[in-house]
Amino acid sequence: MKIPAPGTSGRLKWPLLILTCLIAASCQVDASKPSGAVRGTRQELIGAWQLKSIQLMGPNGPMNDPFYNEGSTGILIYDPSGWMSVQIVGQQRAVVDVPGSRPWPSNTAEDARRKAEVLDTYYAYFATWEFNEATSAVTHHVVSSLFPGEAGASYSQDVTLEGEYLIFTTHRDSGVVQKKVWQRIISTAP
């Protein structure tokens, strides 16, 4: 078979053009996702995750989170039955003696200050959860929370998986983007 010289025959131009387009389309990546990030499945979320970092990016660059602060720790648990729990602890918590009963029996100003310090450095709720694989978003439907007013609220976050890391991304109305990075510690997936 004789191969025509470039530009001498239109026979090879179309197949080569189509092949080039197909290869280019299969190599495209989603630039909105970090390198190595993939959409997960509901099953891949099930298990326990340890908080590694909370990052805020504002219109003028990185920001410190006023509630969680740098170095916070936490745990996130997704149960296959549709229940979840999350707890996040601020880095610098006040040391408070364990009360002999709940609630603390004393109502002094000092007790009120200590209770506020404890509340300001801890966050927790439990909820039901659902995962939309088409949009790669998880939604938590809060049943009860450390803050009673959150009961009945629903929180949705975009989800990506990077190896053993689960990344939640939330876009706030103020233009701030929050990323919570969780590392898998226990999996119940087969």
Q: Do the Cβ atoms of 89 and 68 come closer than 8 Å?
A: no
Go through the domains of the chain in sequence order and give each one's CATH number.
48-93+106-187 (2.40.128.280)
Sign of the torsion formed by the C-alpha atoms of 13, 18, 24 and 27: negative
The answer, yes or no, to whether residue 3 has pLDDT greater than 50, is: no
pLDDT band, residue 113 (cuts 50/70/90): confident
Q: What is the mean pLDDT of residues 125-129?
A: 98
Query: Residue 96 and residue 45: Cα distance in Å, rounded?
Result: 35
pTM, two decimal places: 0.73
Q: What is the mean pLDDT of residues 127-151?
A: 96
Query: What DSSP letter does each residue of 84-134 carry, written as one string?
Result: EEEEEE-SSPPP-PPPSSSS-S---HHHHHHHHHHHTTEEEEEEEEEEETT
Query: Residue 105 and residue 147: Cα distance in Å, rounded?
Result: 21
Q: What is the mean pLDDT of residues 171-176?
A: 88
Classify residue 20 by its DSSP letter: H
